Structure 1
Amino acid sequence: MGSSQAAASLCVLVGLGLAGILLITRKLKQVIREDFGAFVDKLQLLPPPQPAPPKAPHPLTGLTFAVSDVFDIEGHVTGFGHPDWVRTHDKASRTAPVVSTLVEGGATCIGKTIVDELAYSISGENEHYCTPTNPAAPSKTPGGSSSGAAVAVAANLADFSLGIDTVGGVRVPAAFCGIMGFRPSHGAVSHTGIIPVSTSLDTVGWFAKDPKVLGRVGHVLLQLPYAYSRSPRQFVLADDCLEQVKIPTNRITQVVVKSTEKHYGRQVLKHENLDDYFNLKVPSLRKFHNEKTNGAVKVSSIKLLASVAQFLQRHEFKHNHDEWIDSVKPILDSATSAQICGPPESSDMEVEICKSVKNELHAAVNSLLKDDGILVIPTVADPPSKLGGKPLLSEDFRSRAFGLLSIASLSGCCQVTIPLGLHNKNPVSVSFIAKHGSDRFLLDTLQTMYTSLQDQADLVTNTKLSKSALTREQSAEISKEKGNNAYKAKDYHKAIEFYSEAIKLCGNNSTYYSNRAQAYLEIGSYHQAETDCSQAINLNKKNVKAYFRRGSAREVLGYYKEAIEDFKYAHVLEPTNKRAAAAAERLRKLFVP
Structure 2
Amino acid sequence: MASSSANLWVLLGLGLAGILIMTRKLKKVVKADLGAFVERFQLLPPPQPAPPKAPHPLTGLSFAVSDIFDIDGFVTGFGNLDWARTHESASRTSPVVSALIEGGATCVGKTVVDEMAYGISGENKHYGTPTNPAAPTRVPGGSSSGAAVAVAADLVDFSLGIDTVGGVRVPAGYCGIIGFRPSHGAVSHMGIIPVSTSLDAVGWFAKDPNILRRVGHVLLQVPFAVQRNPRNIIIADDCFQLLKIPVDRVAQVVIKSIEKLFGRQVLKHENLGDYLDSKVPSLKTFLSKKSNGEVKSSSMRLLANVMQLMKRHEFKHNHEEWINSVKPALDPVISAQIHEKLEMADTEIENCHAIRSEMRSALNSLLKDDRILVIPTIADPPPKLGGEEISSEDYLIRAFSLLSLASMSGCCQVTVPLGSHDKCPVSVSLLARHGGDRFLLDAVQTMFASLQEQADMATKSKLSRNVVSQETSAEIAKEKGNQAFKDKQWQKAISLYTEAIKLSGNNATYYSNRAAAYLEMGSFIQAEADCTKAINLDKKNVKAYLRRGTAREMLGYYKEAIEDFRYALVLEPTNKRAALSADRLTKLFQ
Q: TM-score range by the shorter chain?
A: 0.7 to 0.9
Aligned to 2:78: 80
Q: CA deviation at 1:468?
A: 11
Q: CA deviation at 1:322?
A: 2.0
Which string of whole-angstrom CA distances, capped at 9 and with x for unpartnered residues, describes residues 315-358 of structure 1? 11111122112124462110111233324222212111101111
Tell me the SS of whatever aligns to 2:64.
Answer: strand
Alignment of 1:495-574 (within 5 A): none
Q: Give yes or no for the alignment of 1:362 onto 2:360.
A: yes
Rounded to whole Å, the distance in 1 between the matches of 2:273 and 2:463 is 30
Which string of whole-angstrom CA distances, capped at 9 and with x for unpartnered residues, describes residues 279-310 of structure 1? 11111111112222222211111111110100
Q: Which ranges of structure 1 fall in alignment gaps of 5 or more residues?
A: 471-593
Aligned to 2:211: 213
Rounded to whole Å, the distance in 2 between the matches of 1:74 and 1:202 is 22
Write the letter of the residue equivalent to 2:292: N
| Contact kept in structure 2, 1:197 and 1:317, CA below 8 Å | yes
| Contact kept in structure 2, 1:250 and 1:466, CA below 8 Å | no
| Contact kept in structure 1, 2:363 and 2:433, CA below 8 Å | yes
Write the letter of the residue equivalent to 1:174: A
Q: CA deviation at 1:463?
A: 1.9
| Contact kept in structure 1, 2:152 and 2:207, CA below 8 Å | yes
Aligned to 2:386: 388
| Contact kept in structure 1, 2:82 and 2:329, CA below 8 Å | no
Moved more, 320-329 or 99-108: 320-329
Aligned to 2:427: 429
| Contact kept in structure 2, 1:254 and 1:466, CA below 8 Å | no
Q: 1:363 to 1:25 in 2, by over 3 A?
A: same
Moved more, 325-334 or 363-372: 325-334
Aligned to 1:37: 35
Rounded to whole Å, the distance in 2 between the matches of 1:64 and 1:118 is 25
Tell me the SS of whatever aligns to 2:403.
Answer: helix
Rounded to whole Å, the distance in 2 between the matches of 1:94 and 1:8 is 56
Alignment of 1:154-553 (within 5 A): 154-329=152-327, 331-464=329-462
Which string of whole-angstrom CA distances, capped at 9 and with x for unpartnered residues, describes residues 37-83 of structure 1? 11111111111110011000000000000001111111111111111
Aligned to 2:27: 28
Aligned to 2:480: none
Write the letter of the residue equivalent to 1:443: L
Aligned to 1:69: 67
Tell me the SS of whatever aligns to 1:138.
Answer: coil
Which string of whole-angstrom CA distances, capped at 9 and with x for unpartnered residues, describes residues 479-528 of structure 1? xxxxxxxxxxxxxxxxxxxxxxxxxxxxxxxxxxxxxxxxxxxxxxxxxx
Aligned to 1:535: none
| Contact kept in structure 2, 1:72 and 1:193, CA below 8 Å | yes
Moved more, 317-326 or 447-456: 317-326
Q: Give yes or no for the alignment of 1:123 onto 2:128.
A: no
Tell me the SS of whatever aligns to 1:35.
Answer: coil
Moved more, 152-161 or 219-228: 219-228
Tell me the SS of whatever aligns to 2:148.
Answer: helix
Aligned to 1:569: none
Aligned to 2:54: 56
Q: 1:262 to 1:465 in 2, by over 3 A?
A: farther
Q: 1:159 to 1:228 in 2, by over 3 A?
A: same
Aligned to 1:526: none
| Contact kept in structure 1, 2:231 and 2:369, CA below 8 Å | no
Tell me the SS of whatever aligns to 1:163.
Answer: strand
Aligned to 2:529: none
Q: CA deviation at 1:14?
A: 9.4
Write the letter of the residue equivalent to 2:186: A
Which string of whole-angstrom CA distances, capped at 9 and with x for unpartnered residues, describes residues 207-264 of structure 1? 0000000000000000122331111011111111111111100001111011101111
| Contact kept in structure 1, 2:313 and 2:342, CA below 8 Å | no
2:136 to 135, 138, 152: 138
Q: CA deviation at 1:17?
A: 7.3
Aligned to 1:576: none
| Contact kept in structure 2, 1:113 and 1:149, CA below 8 Å | yes
- Kindly name which structure, 1 or 2, has the bigger radius of gyration based on alpha carbons: 2
Which string of whole-angstrom CA distances, capped at 9 and with x for unpartnered residues, describes residues 6-35 of structure 1? 999999889867865663344223311x21
Moved more, 236-245 or 410-419: 236-245
| Contact kept in structure 1, 2:182 and 2:437, CA below 8 Å | yes
Rounded to whole Å, the distance in 2 between the matches of 1:466 and 1:288 is 48
Aligned-CA RMSD value: 2.4
Which string of whole-angstrom CA distances, capped at 9 and with x for unpartnered residues, describes residues 124-146 of structure 1? 00111111111111111111101
| Contact kept in structure 1, 2:121 and 2:143, CA below 8 Å | yes
Moved more, 400-409 or 289-298: 289-298
Moved more, 408-417 or 290-299: 290-299
Rounded to whole Å, the distance in 2 between the matches of 1:230 and 1:115 is 36
Tell me the SS of whatever aligns to 1:277.
Answer: helix
Aligned to 1:153: 151
Which string of whole-angstrom CA distances, capped at 9 and with x for unpartnered residues, describes residues 526-557 of structure 1? xxxxxxxxxxxxxxxxxxxxxxxxxxxxxxxx
Moved more, 340-349 or 22-31: 22-31
Moved more, 330-339 or 379-388: 330-339
Tell me the SS of whatever aligns to 1:213.
Answer: helix
Using the size of structure 2 for normalisation, the TM-score is: 0.76
Q: CA deviation at 1:382?
A: 0.7
Q: 1:283 to 1:107 in 2, by over 3 A?
A: same
Write the letter of the residue equivalent to 2:381: P
| Contact kept in structure 2, 1:161 and 1:206, CA below 8 Å | yes
Write the letter of the residue equivalent to 2:260: K
Write the letter of the residue equivalent to 2:23: I
Q: 1:330 to 1:20 in 2, by over 3 A?
A: closer
Rounded to whole Å, the distance in 2 between the matches of 1:247 and 1:80 is 34
Which string of whole-angstrom CA distances, capped at 9 and with x for unpartnered residues, describes residues 407-442 of structure 1? 000001000000001101100000000000000110
Q: How many residues align?
A: 468
Moved more, 286-295 or 201-210: 286-295
Using the size of structure 1 for normalisation, the TM-score is: 0.75
Rounded to whole Å, the distance in 1 between the matches of 2:393 and 2:416 is 26
Q: What is the percentage of aligned positions where both structures have the same residue? A: 66
Aligned to 1:512: none
Tell me the SS of whatever aligns to 2:374.
Answer: strand
| Contact kept in structure 1, 2:82 and 2:328, CA below 8 Å | no
| Contact kept in structure 1, 2:176 and 2:419, CA below 8 Å | yes
| Contact kept in structure 2, 1:371 and 1:435, CA below 8 Å | no
Rounded to whole Å, the distance in 1 between the matches of 2:60 and 2:328 is 45
Write the letter of the residue equivalent to 2:388: K
Tell me the SS of whatever aligns to 2:428.
Answer: strand
Rounded to whole Å, the distance in 2 between the matches of 1:95 and 1:232 is 37
Moved more, 95-104 or 330-339: 330-339
Q: Which ranges of structure 2 fall in alignment gaps of 5 or more residues?
A: 469-590
Q: 1:452 to 1:281 in 2, by over 3 A?
A: same
Rounded to whole Å, the distance in 2 between the matches of 1:179 and 1:423 is 15
Write the letter of the residue equivalent to 1:287: T
Tell me the SS of whatever aligns to 2:223.
Answer: coil
